[in-house]
């Protein structure tokens, strides 16, 4: 087991990217809700000395710079079967679009499980790459985000189509 990490500077603050063997297993903000203990991240390595972490860094900077819409990284997040099912749906939310917790629950066969979906989305260990920021409340409100609502808003604004952002008053 070759667990290691890198801490990247970004427009949203420091991001910790964790890799195990040949896959990315975690992406966390400094004050991330449900952030695992730093001891589980393995040693910090120079990004230039690890091809996978270097590629993750490049893709994250491209995305945050508005130059990338999708990530192409090997991922291996931990989670139970329900979390994996939710994550699969979240991965398919297109850039610039949102869905609700209830709509995901409906896709999973039981709209009454919206709260459970919210818990699974909140446990996503791969923020940004698995775009949990694209999941909003039933009325379109910004609800919970492990990296904080300011970051969720910033990510949604980054993905906002130009005509929408041009018509916004704020």
Q: Are residues 60 and 85 in the same domain?
A: no
Which of 120, 132, 136, 155 is flagged as catalytic? 132
Q: Are residues 49 and 115 in the same domain?
A: no
> Domain total for the chain?
2
Residue 132 annotated as catalytic = yes
Q: Are residues 54 and 86 in the same domain?
A: no
Question: Across the strands, what pairs with 126?
Answer: 27
Q: Are residues 150 and 113 in the same domain?
A: yes
Per-residue pLDDT of the chain (170 residues; tens, 9 = 90+): 699 999 999 999 999 999 999 999 999 998 877 888 889 999 999 999 999 999 999 999 999 999 999 999 999 999 999 999 999 999 999 999 999 999 999 999 998 999 999 999 999 999 999 999 999 988 888 887 877 889 999 999 999 876 554 554 44
Range of the domain at 11: 3-64
Whole-angstrom CA distances from 168 to 15, 83, 131, 160, 163 are 29, 35, 23, 11, 9
Q: Are residues 100 and 154 in the same domain?
A: yes
């Amino acid at each position: 087991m070759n667990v290691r990490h890198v801490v990247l500077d970004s427009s949203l603050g420091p991001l910790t990217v964790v890799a195990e063997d040949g896959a990315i297993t975690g992406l966390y903000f400094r004050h991330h809700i449900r952030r695992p203990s730093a001891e589980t991240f393995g040693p910090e390595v120079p990004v230039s000395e690890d091809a996978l972490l270097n590629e993750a860094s490049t893709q994250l900077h491209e995305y945050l710079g508005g130059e990338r819409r999708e990530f192409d990284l090997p991922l291996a997040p931990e989670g139970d079967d329900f979390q994996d099912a939710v994550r699969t749906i979240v991965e398919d939310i297109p850039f610039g679009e949102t869905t609700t917790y209830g709509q995901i629950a409906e896709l999973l066969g039981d709209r009454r499980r919206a709260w459970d979906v919210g818990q699974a989305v909140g446990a996503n260990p791969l923020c940004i790459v698995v775009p949990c920021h694209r999941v909003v409340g039933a009325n379109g409100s910004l609800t919970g985000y492990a990296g904080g609502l300011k970051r969720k808003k910033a990510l949604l604004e980054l993905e906002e189509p130009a005509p929408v952002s041009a018509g916004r008053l704020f």
